[in-house]
Amino acid sequence: MKIQIINGPNLNLLGVREPSIYGNTSIEDYIKELKTVYPDIQIEYYQSNVEGEIINKLHEVGFSYDGVVLNAGGYTHTSVAIADAIAAIKTAVVEVHISNIYAREEYRHVSLTGKNCQGVLTGFGIKGYRLAIESLLI
């Protein structure tokens, strides 16, 4: 089984960016932990601050991988293009948000991308990535 984790803008700063919201764990450390928990799953990680690069990655893996875990960051609320890319691919996508987007600023309450995903996890901290992987195993 192959799962691609895709993170959007500013998520390369996990562990140092606003720890009160996003926690103290770096994404690199958490990916290592996930690979230990799921040794039989090929977990790949990709991060970009550029919308088009996220779309390109979705196109690249969207017909051959078993699942995508996507945290599009701020693009969740603004990117019709990423939403369209999710709709265009065959691979199941689970949207993840570390913080509870409904407990934050009102503009974050709307996910343009979520409607094209298999499901949306929000507010479970960095553990949301593991929950998303679990949902893809069902």
- Give the active site residues: 22, 97
Residue 17: name the closest of 47, 45, 37 by CA: 47
Reduced to 3 states (helix: H, G, I; strand: E, B; else coil), residue 114 is helix
State how far the Cα of 96 lies from the Cα of 99, in Å rounded to an integer.
9
- Residue length, the chain? 138
Q: Running DSSP on this structure, what letter comes out for residue 76?
A: G
Determine contact, residues 68/6, Cβ cutoff 8 Å: yes
Burial class (CB in 10 A: 0-12, 13-18, 19+), 36: exposed
For residue 54, give the DSSP letter.
Answer: H
